[in-house]
Chain A
Amino acid sequence: MNRECDETRLSRSLSWLLLAGLALAVTLMLTGAVLASLRTGRPVARESSLTELPRALAALEPEGFLDLGLLVLLATPIAKTAALLVGFARRRAWLFSVISLAVLVMLALSALLGVRAD
């Protein structure tokens, strides 16, 4: 199998991954928006903490669904980069697999530096 055909399959897999992440994020955000519109008297709070998320979801609070939707959207490009790392490694394109890993490390550093700067 030549490189073009092989990477066409990888492109299609990535396309499905991005679509799944986007669909899940949009579904969660729409659910949160509907719950917020049904709730009267209390405005939607600014983002809740990660530890609060399971309780907010279980209590059907809109904040939980909105925050989880945003987190899923944020995680989608990260998952895409991880899939590229695996995809290139399976095709023995080691150089590009290592480059994908470097991108993931930079994303992790962004989150860490954001927390440190707080």
Chain B
Amino acid sequence: MTEIALLVVAGFLGGAFGSMVGLGGGVFIVPVLTLFLDVPIHDAVAASLMGVIATSTTGSVTYLRQGLTNLRLGVTMETALTVGALTGGLVGALLTREALSAVFGGVMVAVSVYMGVRRKASPAAVPADAGLGRLGAVYHDPYRGQEVRYPVTRLSLGLLVGLVAGNVSGLLGVGGGFLTVPVMRLGMNVPIRASVATSSLMLGVTACSGALVYLARGMVDPVTVVPVVLGVTAGAFLGSRLASRLRSSVLTVLTAAVLFALAVQMILAAMGIGFR
């Protein structure tokens, strides 16, 4: 009974934090389950993927109502994410997990430091009469109390990173938001709130792609997965509401801090030290 309560708590914390910064929470759930609760790695990854779907769904309910989610950009990037998730196994045959951890850990350290240093640099303001292109969008920023208009740039970069993020998701059981949020924010001119909201919607589809494989192979254990999913749902419900009350700069720093912590974890894992 205590173990089930701990699974719920792990899910709650992963869901709350993940939904606040546009991640699925898998980067938190997998290490906690394997290190502290002795859950086998495959069960932990399956639980994490189902948890990511719950985080994505719960967070997206709020973000869609607030009009923050860019549907056209989201579905376009989902193509790359799902292809990446599907081909994760193929790449896994070519690269070791340690090599992947080291490469992405290094990239994420750079991205997190850059986000932290450049957090005050908002996307350039777009005149009200300027065209936003096929993927651009408009939303109302509840904190600043004004309308934000933005065109989307460098879609090819987003698709490339989406492919990689999907691949990592398929390999490690995470949603991939730790790559899609920074690239949308820093590389594609998407404001942080829209990046978090759009990433939240995309994560569900990415995790679904991986979870379908686990389910088809009979690797989803309801005794582990259900408590995690119930905890994640409650946590994500709280986190997505807290997110709209935080300043964009705080949200960016929070994202950068999570990315940095995750990067250190991945580098340590590559060196044979770490949770997994």
Contacts and interface: CB of A to CB of B under 8 A. Distances in A.
A60 interface: no
Contact of A18 (B57, B71, B216): B57
A86 interface: no
Nearest to A109: B86
Contacts of B50: 70, 73-74
A59 interface: no
A73 B213 contact: no
B79 A103 contact: yes
Given A110-B86, A118-B217, A15 B229 contact: no
Interface residues of B, number: 51
Given A4-B138, A106-B82, A11 B64 contact: yes
Interface string A47-86: 1000000000000000100110110011011101100100
B215 A114 contact: yes
Contact of B226 (A46, A70, A76, A109): A70
B144 interface: no
Grouping DSSP codes into helix (H, G, I), strand (E, B) and loop, the B interface class, with mixed when no group exceeds half, is: helix
A18 B60 contact: yes
Interface residues of A, number: 53
A18 B64 contact: yes
Interface of B: 50, 53-54, 56-58, 60-61, 64-65, 67, 69, 71-72, 75-76, 78-79, 82-83, 85-86, 89, 134, 137-138, 201, 204-205, 207-218, 220-223, 225-227, 229-230, 233
11 contacts: A21-B57, A22-B233, A44-B222, A70-B215, A77-B208, A81-B205, A99-B79, A106-B83, A106-B86, A111-B216, A114-B213
Interface of A: 4, 7-8, 10-12, 14-15, 18-19, 21-22, 25-26, 29-30, 32-33, 43-44, 46-47, 63, 66-67, 69-70, 73-74, 76-78, 80-81, 84, 88, 93, 95-96, 99-100, 102-103, 106-107, 109-111, 113-115, 117-118
